Structure 1
Amino acid sequence: MTQIDSSTLLPTPSSATLRALGERVQQGMLVFNGKFEVSVANGLVRELFGVDTTGSLDLGRQLEALLPPFAMSQARETGSWIGSLPIGERVITLHLHQHSDAGEEAFLALFQHIDGPEDYERELQQRHAELRQAYLRLNGTQEKLLQSEKMASIGQLAAGVAHEINNPIGYVHSNLGSLQEYLRSLFTVIEAYERALRAPDPKALIPEIDDIRDRLDIDFISRDLPQLMAESREGIERVTRIVRDLKDFSYSGRDESWKLVDLHAGLESTINIIWNELKYKVTLERRYGELPMIECLPSELNQVYMNLLLNAGHAIAERGNIVVSTGVNGDEVWVEFKDNGSGISPELRQRIFDPFFTTKPVGSGTGLGLSISYGIINKHHGRIDLDSTVGEGSCFRIVLPIRQPK
């Protein structure tokens, strides 16, 4: 049985047929390729752009100049793009469609004139709704990325945080064992005194009580017990502080509002979380100035502090210093992180805030830390200044407004 190609039953319309059909369309119609070479332009679109039948090349160039840079790429990715274009004193709605076949690319542009203010307002409202949906999707993605990077940082620090918690828990557990022995000894002495009180001649039992006191070393217990309790309380407070700081840091911040905060409290909270990562090779020096309360999103700023402190620690090979300084300059405050590590070369300095760029080995960094930090500071209407010399170290300075602009 002979197979028939169905495409042979549908002959391709000629250019003359397409042009004739275009003249019947009640919209401006333009067909062109990826180089903006026009093959079909009906009368309405020629009138709109003010060209005659010989001006197709100029028409393509005019359209290329009017289209936003992302319109063609979006049409290629999704098949279409819709937007508004100012042409002369008019505002025109453009529906742009793309089709590729056998390596050939074609675009169909349909232009619709917005006649009156009501149509224009309706068009603006529609575009506003579309932009708002796109913004909400983008904002949601940014929040997820921010939270993912935050949790990734905690994951990388998990062993150190566990050590910081286990250390005080360990000596509190040991102290509780000592406390149990001390209580047993004290109860033994108390029982001896109770027997003496019930005896006909209590003074006769004093030598026995003194012997028990000496054997159980009650004098040492009375000296060591307050110190043991104070040490245990300090250990429990240490664990409580780490857990609280971890909870604050891991908070997603979705419902966090701008509030007046003490930046020094956030710095100390962050240092407390990452200290195990730094303490074996870093001497940390604090040079805090007098700061006013700052209007900010504290959990996001804490993530910036963590990223910069960890980067400073990673830049130090064996042993070095990190200086954390703060100060006020007019209606701005600054927080500075200075290390004497390896420094950053000029060519890398241009890329350190790029997403996914990292100089760390594969698997030890996401390349998002500085990029996210830059976005957070930009969101706070601030800036990050960098001064670095290879072999001498780096200095990152965060500059923030005391109050956010209205």
Structure 2
Amino acid sequence: MRFVNGSRSEGADLLDSLADALHDPMLVFDAGLRVLYANDAAFQLVARLHGATPAPLDVVGAWHPDLVSPAALAVAATEGEWVGEVSLPAMSEAHPIALRVQLVALRSAGEARYGFVARDVSADHARRDELSNRNAELKEAYRKLKGAQEQLIQSEKLASIGQLAAGVAHEINNPIGYVHSNLGTLADYSRHLLTLIGTYEEALRSPGPAATAEIAELRRRFDIDFVVDDLPALLSESREGIERVRKIVQDLKDFSRSDRGDGWVVADIHRGLDSTLNIVWNEIKYKGQIVKSFGDLPAIECLPSELNQVFMNILMNAAQAISDQGIITISTGSDGGHVWVAIGDDGEGIPETNLLRIFDPFFTTKPVGKGTGLGLAISYGIVAKHNGRIDVTSTPGQGSMFRIVLPVKQPAAPAAE
């Protein structure tokens, strides 16, 4: 110990005063754990541990049996220092006292001495536990929010299908109607052909002019030549009708399903656009002509059902923006590691004051009952989840253009599911 000015006695008194002023407990003890010095903070610590100040406090173990472990002392003796944490139960406190301890080997007149300095880090531990608890609560809140968001997306999807139900039913009823009619005609054809076959069998068993005449009469009466020409056409038309129904039902199934838990897949954007057009066709075919200009696109990593919902919302908005007859354009292309889909219309357009709000939840200019104001907000969220963006340009009286840009491959961890 060096004293720059003043005597050793004065320096020792000053150091003693400084040690007592510190908030950190300090002890000095010898190799036999006999306490040689303790500051005021050390006595305050022992009072907290025991509920009172025990006596005598001549050895470290009397302060607390776990205050200095043999292992810590051994490390300090061999390496000169041990730093670590100890947790000590306190009689008067609900939680253990956590101490950050520095144990230092000292030398005095050739004898081993040890210095013990501790800092109470209980508050730090409490804050860390509190942060851990808050983090767990935030994770749970995020999980619930995520579930609510997915439910909202699914609800909006089903609501869209509900709005399209009449049109979809019409699209299904048309082919079902002529298939049903064709089946009645095919039943008549089958009955006539079976009757004719039976007559041929009789003629083979009893050939003669009478049998030949009967066959000729049946062919005339049943108009067999027309049946032979018409039957393949009826079968082909019926097959096309059933295929049309099957395609609509499959597209509805694909659209209405939830992507939750299915994971990200590599899918064809053009197939999704065609599938969505098939669902909304009855809603837009009376409003506008569809003009498609599809580029050469790579398959992209995505949630297909959710992207189809985006396409549906924008296509339906385009149809509703056309008051009488117009044109809806669908263009696609690729640019580096991204693909884009542009859906435009020559409808009434969007005023500039509304253009800034179209992605706000519950914002809608449609009459009550015609829209929830969630379609574009949900679409924006879906595209954002795909690490993409939606750009909108519009001129009142001339139409609007929505341009969706999506990455071909998602980052290593797509917007977490």
> TM-score, length-normalised on structure 1?
0.70
Paired position in structure 1 for 2:77: none
Paired position in structure 1 for 2:155: 148
Paired position in structure 1 for 2:231: 225
Paired position in structure 1 for 2:183: 176
Paired position in structure 2 for 1:380: 386
Instruction: Kindly state the Cα deviation for residue 252 of structure 1 after the two structures are TM-superposed.
Output: 2.2
Q: 1:274 aligns with which of 269, 276, 280?
A: 280
Structure 1 counterpart of 2:323, one-letter code: A
* 1:158-173 map, 5 Å: 158-173=165-180
Instruction: Kindly state the Cα deviation for residue 203 of structure 1 after the two structures are TM-superposed.
Output: 5.4
Instruction: Kindly state the Cα deviation for residue 124 of structure 1 after the two structures are TM-superposed.
Output: 3.5
Structure 1 counterpart of 2:351, one-letter code: S
* 1:89-104 map, 5 Å: none
Q: 2:330 aligns with which of 324, 347, 350?
A: 324
Q: 2:242 aligns with which of 236, 244, 252?
A: 236
Structure 2 counterpart of 1:312, one-letter code: A
* 1:239-258 map, 5 Å: 239-258=245-264
Residue 280 of structure 1 aligns to a residue whose secondary structure is coil
* 1:178-197 map, 5 Å: 178-197=185-204
Question: Residue 267 of structure 1 contacts residue 302 of structure 1 at CA under 8 Å; is this kept in 2?
Answer: yes
Paired position in structure 2 for 1:138: 145
Q: 1:371 aligns with which of 368, 372, 377?
A: 377
* 1:278-357 map, 5 Å: 278-357=284-363
* 1:1-80 map, 5 Å: none
Structure 2 counterpart of 1:142, one-letter code: Q
Residue 296 of structure 2 aligns to a residue whose secondary structure is coil
Paired position in structure 1 for 2:37: none
C-alpha separation in 2, matches of 1:175 and 1:300: 38
Instruction: Kindly state the Cα deviation for residue 125 of structure 1 after the two structures are TM-superposed.
Output: 2.5
Q: Once the two structures are superposed, what CA deviation does each residue of 1:51-72 show, in whole Å capped at 9, x if it has no partner? A: xxxxxxxxxxxxxxxxxxxxxx
Q: Once the two structures are superposed, what CA deviation does each residue of 1:190-225 show, in whole Å capped at 9, x if it has no partner? A: 1110110110x3455223212211111001000000
1:333–1:185 distance in 2 versus 1, CA, 3 Å: same
Instruction: Kindly state the Cα deviation for residue 128 of structure 1 after the two structures are TM-superposed.
Output: 1.9
Residue 405 of structure 1 aligns to a residue whose secondary structure is coil
C-alpha separation in 1, matches of 2:340 and 2:208: 73
Residue 216 in structure 1 maps to residue 222 in structure 2: yes
Larger radius of gyration: 2
Structure 2 counterpart of 1:253, one-letter code: D
Q: Which runs of 4+ in 1 moved over 6 A?
A: none
Structure 1 counterpart of 2:380, one-letter code: Y
Q: Once the two structures are superposed, what CA deviation does each residue of 1:27-67 show, in whole Å capped at 9, x if it has no partner? A: xxxxxxxxxxxxxxxxxxxxxxxxxxxxxxxxxxxxxxxxx
Residue 402 in structure 1 maps to residue 403 in structure 2: no
C-alpha separation in 2, matches of 1:297 and 1:124: 34
Paired position in structure 1 for 2:397: 391
Residue 360 of structure 1 aligns to a residue whose secondary structure is coil
C-alpha separation in 2, matches of 1:350 and 1:168: 43
Residue 283 of structure 1 aligns to a residue whose secondary structure is strand
Instruction: Kindly state the Cα deviation for residue 123 of structure 1 after the two structures are TM-superposed.
Output: 3.6
The share of aligned pairs that are identical, in percent, is 61
Question: Residue 331 of structure 1 contacts residue 401 of structure 1 at CA under 8 Å; is this kept in 2?
Answer: yes
C-alpha separation in 2, matches of 1:403 and 1:203: 79
Instruction: Kindly state the Cα deviation for residue 140 of structure 1 after the two structures are TM-superposed.
Output: 1.1
> TM-score, length-normalised on structure 2?
0.68
- RMSD (Å), alpha carbons: 1.5
Instruction: Kindly state the Cα deviation for residue 118 of structure 1 after the two structures are TM-superposed.
Output: 5.1
C-alpha separation in 2, matches of 1:382 and 1:254: 19
Residue 292 of structure 1 aligns to a residue whose secondary structure is coil
1:202–1:122 distance in 2 versus 1, CA, 3 Å: farther
Question: Residue 169 of structure 1 contacts residue 236 of structure 1 at CA under 8 Å; is this kept in 2?
Answer: yes
C-alpha separation in 2, matches of 1:211 and 1:380: 71
C-alpha separation in 1, matches of 2:350 and 2:287: 20
Structure 1 counterpart of 2:287, one-letter code: K
C-alpha separation in 2, matches of 1:139 and 1:212: 72
Question: Residue 114 of structure 1 contacts residue 120 of structure 1 at CA under 8 Å; is this kept in 2?
Answer: no
C-alpha separation in 1, matches of 2:342 and 2:287: 20
